[in-house]
Structure 1
Amino acid sequence: MKKTIKILLIILIVLALIVGGLILVRNKYLPLEYQSEIEVCSKEFNLDPYYVTAVIRTESRFRPAVVSSAGAVGLMQIQPETGEWIAGKLDMDFSADKLTDPAVNIRLGCWYLRFLLDRFDDPIAALAAYNSGQGRVDDWLASDEHSKDGITLDEIPFEETRNYVKKVERFEKLYKWLYPGLEKTDGIVLK
């Protein structure tokens, strides 16, 4: 009897350590910040919040004031010119300093993701365009080497963009597993 209790205690301690370790890893490496902004904007633009969260994690690691070497700003790494263009489409007041505001950045980024998804009709092509630009993706889709049907991107020639798409897909799956409570929509879900 005492041996059974000791074994059960050891099992409980091991399970507690595993759960504690998962929580620590989740909070440190896969945080979920700005959840309400993500859910509101995801719903507004009919996107899956896990997809948006994965893009934010990949782009900025949830750092709202980060600026890339190319000049992209904020959580979803919006170029100031692109932000101004999107804000015009949304009839919003815009100045480049607003890109560090999480609510503004997420709303602009979600609008742009929806725009790209509607434009390309392929989630992989949309993510590739988010990372490397619409013109490049247009060229890839027009090439028999990268697209058999001109709609679906079969091969991404840029390693950086190929890795970017894989990261977003991987983070989306991890966020779904680690944070099962996000409000879901009928939006885009990468498989």
Structure 2
Amino acid sequence: MGMDPHTIKELLQLQIWNKSSLLTSSGAAAKSDAESDFSGLLNSLLAGQQDTQADTANVRAEQRPSKDTLAAAAMLASRVAPASWNRYLQSDDTVNKPTAFENVIQAASRKFGIEPALVKAVINTESSFNPQAVSRSGAKGLMQLMDGTGQAMGVVDPFDPQQNIEGGTKYLSGLLMKYNGNPGTALAAYNAGSGRLDKLGIKDDLDLEAKLHLLPAETQQYVRKVMQLKNHYEA
């Protein structure tokens, strides 16, 4: 018997809560309730069928973060109020279904050695999967590339999904290499520019955790949102 779609959605939402170390005082009780609900739901599902998980794409060895890096990235991802994240999950259908650009994302991720979940999270945050999106600052397309950045990455038409995704993924791959595979730091540089991080002496996610408050509020929220979405796409 197949799993009820409503149950799947409920399990995914509760699983996200379980993964996050929610640090707000109002989140403590919510986390406790979520853990209880998740445990009960999971046990009932396991009684009737086996759990299956998809393998995530391999990341190139030189871009695999250390345990300390993963711990810092998890802390960055956790700093979102639980009520706010719950509303976001309920209102954004793109998180719960395949996108129209799945094949392009998978190909670009393999080509440049990045997890597809991270690329999807960036696209979702940048443009909500709208290939015609244009920001007030002139960033264009799915991964919101500035003209200079796009041209440097070989993008001729920023509104062409394949070119934009390949260019954005290539750029993100370069940032991950620059910051030794630290995803939070690479994302902060993607949003605020690597020059700003360099001036603050931010070289990895441990530095970012300590100095995140020195970056613009937009960048702080950007890093947290992308990391949360990445966790969800991996679930």
> What's the TM-score, normalizing by structure 2?
0.58
Quickly say closer, same or farther: Cα 1:138–1:20, change in 2 above 3 A.
closer
Quickly say closer, same or farther: Cα 1:38–1:117, change in 2 above 3 A.
same
1:29 Cα deviation after fit: 4.2
Alignment size in residue pairs: 149
Quickly say closer, same or farther: Cα 1:120–1:78, change in 2 above 3 A.
same
1:160 to 202, 218, 221: 218
Does 1:68 find its partner at 2:135? Answer: yes
Give structure 2 stretches of 5+ with no counterpart. 13-88
Does 1:49 find its partner at 2:116? Answer: yes
Q: Distance in 2 between matches of 1:42 and 1:172?
A: 14
Preserved CA contact (<8 Å) 1:59 1:77: yes
Identify the residue that residue 171 of structure 1 maps to in structure 2: 229
Does 1:103 find its partner at 2:103? Answer: no
Q: Distance in 1 between matches of 2:211 and 2:196?
A: 13
1:27 Cα deviation after fit: 7.3
1:15-164 map, 5 Å: 16=4, 18-19=6-7, 28-30=93-95, 31-33=97-99, 34-87=101-154, 94-95=155-156, 98-121=157-180, 122-141=182-201, 147=202, 150-151=203-204, 152-153=207-208, 154-156=210-212, 157=214, 158-164=216-222
RMSD across aligned C-alpha pairs, in angstroms? 2.5
Q: Percent identity over the alignment?
A: 35
1:105 counterpart letter in structure 2: N
Q: Distance in 2 between matches of 1:42 and 1:26?
A: 27
Aligned partner of residue 56 in structure 1, secondary structure: helix
Q: Distance in 2 between matches of 1:138 and 1:60?
A: 26
> What's the TM-score, normalizing by structure 1?
0.70
- 1:64-96 per-residue CA deviation (whole Å, 9 max, x = no partner) reads 010000100011000011111111xxxxxx53x
Q: Distance in 2 between matches of 1:45 and 1:26?
A: 31
Q: Distance in 2 between matches of 1:128 and 1:47?
A: 16
Quickly say closer, same or farther: Cα 1:26–1:139, change in 2 above 3 A.
same
Quickly say closer, same or farther: Cα 1:67–1:26, change in 2 above 3 A.
same
1:20 Cα deviation after fit: 7.7
1:4-15 map, 5 Å: none
Preserved CA contact (<8 Å) 1:76 1:109: yes
Give structure 1 stretches of 5+ with no counterpart. 1-11, 88-93, 142-146, 178-191
Quickly say closer, same or farther: Cα 1:16–1:75, change in 2 above 3 A.
same
